């Protein structure tokens, strides 16, 4: 394939939580665009190995690194491995996330803290650790937020609040780390990864575009920010088929 067909050739990308589901789609989309891709996983080692093989098949350099975004030591080890192998980093996608349904009045301190540890502090820790590399490369960060960070979902209060905080963190990073690093955020709506559930049909009918989202829709938005003018920074792009309107 020509360089134009693979416009991210030579770019080095880290995507957290990318063994399966949306993260895997992001990883494959970056590899299809020619980028070298390091995925991280926490528990899904088998799926990570499969995704790693699928990345290699696309003719790019690839790594699968165990990483718990709640642990600074673990994050530092993963980013060090990327530096060792690839001598730098161009793009970070903070995709790893936690999701939980709970009545607001029942959310415990432990549940609240666990949600923020993964969804808000995690992306901060990974970005902070990668900051010198991204600064040197005039790189980019794309954080995966959520429609739930824009609109309140009554039975996901701790999740929604953690994602709203991530949206603000994205804007703060964009301002703090300009002009070297552009930082944007993609906020998916209802994304269905092949699961079958009557609730999904209900959401599809409520969505102006009359379907739920696919991982590929999210990947297209992330690839947009990976290739957009560096001048575009601090933006939040909902990928929700109009569900949030
Ligand atoms: N699916 C949706 O409809 C939807 C809607 C809005 C926003 N989003 C956001 O889009 C992103 C991807 O969604 P998804 O549904 O594909 O997510 P997911 O399957 O719930 O989680 C993605 C990955 O995050 C990793 N992870 C969780 N806790 C971690 C930790 N402490 N350290 C490192 N990795 C951790 C897990 O890795 P292991 O499996 O390896 O443990 C998991 O595979 C998430 O940020 C999510 O909040 C999704």
Model pLDDT for residues 31-90, shown as the tens digit of each residue: 999 999 999 999 999 999 999 999 999 999 999 999 999 999 999 999 999 999 999 999
The residue extents of the domains of the chain are 12-239
- For domain 12-239, give the fold: Rossmann fold (3.40.50)
Model pLDDT for residues 138-182, shown as the tens digit of each residue: 999 999 999 999 999 999 999 999 999 999 999 999 999 999 999
Q: Which atom of ligand 1 is nearest to the CA of 22?
A: 16
Cis-peptide into 122, omega within 30 deg = no
CA of 96 to the centre of ligand 1 (A): 4
d(CA 196, CA 199) in angstroms, rounded, equals 9
Around ligand 1, the residues with Cβ closer than 6 Å are: 16-17, 19-23, 41-44, 67-70, 95-99, 118, 144, 146-147, 188, 190-191
Model pLDDT for residues 67-76, shown as the tens digit of each residue: 999 999 999 9
What angle is formed at CA 216 by the lines to CA 147 and CA 244, rounded to 5 degrees? 20
Position 13 pLDDT exceeds 80: yes
- Residue 41 a catalytic site member: no
Instruction: Tell me which of 127 and 2 has the higher pLDDT.
Output: 127
């Amino acid at each position: 394939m020509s360089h134009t067909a693979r416009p991210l050739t030579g770019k080095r990308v880290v995507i957290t939580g990318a063994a399966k589901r949306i993260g895997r789609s992001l990883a494959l989309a970056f590899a299809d665009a020619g980028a070298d891709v390091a995925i991280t996983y926490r528990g899904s080692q088998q799926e990570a190995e499969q995704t790693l093989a699928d990345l290699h098949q696309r003719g790019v350099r690839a790594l699968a690194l165990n990483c718990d975004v709640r642990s600074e030591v673990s994050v530092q080890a993963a980013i060090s491995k990327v530096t060792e192998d690839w001598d730098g980093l161009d793009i970070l996608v903070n995709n790893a996330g936690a999701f939980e349904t709970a009545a607001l009045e029942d959310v415990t301190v432990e549940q609240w803290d666990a949600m923020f540890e993964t969804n808000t502090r995690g992306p901060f820790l990974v970005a902070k650790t990668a900051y010198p590399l991204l600064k040197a490369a005039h790189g980019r960060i794309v954080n995966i937020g959520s429609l739930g960070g824009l609109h309140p979902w009554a039975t996901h209060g701790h999740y929604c609040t953690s994602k709203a905080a991530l949206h603000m963190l994205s804007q703060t990073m964009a301002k703090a780390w300009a002009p070297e690093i552009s930082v944007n955020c993609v906020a998916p709506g209802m994304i269905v990864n092949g699961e079958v559930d009557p609730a999904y049909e209900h959401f599809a009918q409520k969505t102006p575009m009359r379907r739920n989202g696919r991982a590929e829709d999210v990947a297209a938005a992330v690839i947009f920010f990976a290739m957009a003018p560096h001048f575009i920074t601090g933006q939040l792009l909902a990928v929700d088929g109009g569900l949030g309107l």
